[in-house]
Amino acid sequence: MSELTLLGLCGSLRRGSLNRKLMLEAKAAFGPARFAEGDLRLPLYDGDLESEEGIPEGVTKLAGQIKAADAVVIACPEYNKAPPGVLKNALDWVSRTKGGPWAGKPVALVSATGGRAGGERTQFALRLMMVPFRPRLLQGPEVLVGAADEQFDADGKLINERNVTALRDLMAALRAEAEAARAVADKAA
């Protein structure tokens, strides 16, 4: 089996994003893989823009990355108990592309928040948002990093054993899904 491809999406655009740190910890926990981060810095969805100029290049690229990935990890911030517009906007744009890139795709969600609950509500809302795209969304273990500004060391490593264990188990499950899907595809080829 050739090397797996893992795509990371982070719903925060800011440079110091704690969710990006968590996404990179998820990448490390996934194990050997080709990794890329999708760029969610896209124009706001606008039906006029779509009909006049077509699907933006960045959206086409993102949809292609999702389609080509063996697995996707989404690091989802919590803004007012829900996923940020950046992420919803990207999902809406990708839904306008052809080929159903999410269908059957192994996907894991993680979140890091300032609040203590670690993004339980944002993850639940994101699960609902993704239903139309029919990914293989892992049900757990949940990775909910609360009080996240206290949860990473200077190198961006998670310091709390409970978070480390949950992330390790979630990413092991994601890897198992990706490998199983790859084995089926290789057999069919």
Ligand X SMILES: Cc1cc2nc3c(=O)[nH]c(=O)nc-3n(C[C@H](O)[C@H](O)[C@H](O)COP(=O)(O)O)c2cc1C
77 binds ligand X (CB under 6 A): yes
The candidate with the shortest Cα–Cα distance to 18, out of 90, 89, 76, 80, is: 76
Are 30 and 171 spatial neighbours (Cβ–Cβ below 8 Å)?
Answer: yes
Distance CA 105, CA 68 (A): 10
> For ligand X, which residue of 4, 6, 7, 12 counts as binding (CB under 6 A)?
12
By C-beta, is 4 or 7 nearer to ligand X? 7
Question: What residue type is assigned to position 80 of the chain?
Answer: N
Binds ligand X (CB under 6 A): choice among 70, 76, 113, 152: 113
In the numeric block, which tokens belong to residue 61? 């690229």
Closer of 20 and 105 to ligand X (Cβ): 20
Among 6, 19, 126, 144, binds ligand X (CB under 6 A): 19
Is residue 88 at the binding interface for ligand X, with CB under 6 A as the rule? no
**Is position 79 an interface residue for ligand X (rule: CB under 6 A)?**
yes
CA-CA distance, 36 to 95, in Å (whole number)? 20
Q: Nearest distance from residue 163's CB to ligand X, in Å?
A: 15
Verify binding: residue 34, ligand X, rule CB under 6 A. Answer: no
Stretch that binds ligand X, among 10-18, 51-59, 130-138, 167-175 (CB under 6 A): 10-18
* Of positions 32, 41, 51, 80, contacts ligand X by CB under 6 A: 80
The answer to whether 106 contacts ligand X (rule: CB under 6 A) is no
As measured in angstroms, the least distance from the Cβ of 38 to ligand X is 15
Q: Which is nearer to ligand X, 55 or 117 (CB)?
A: 117
151 lines the binding site for ligand X (CB under 6 A): no
What is the C-alpha R_g of the chain?
16
- List contacts with ligand X (CB under 6 A): 12, 14, 17-19, 77-81, 112-115, 148
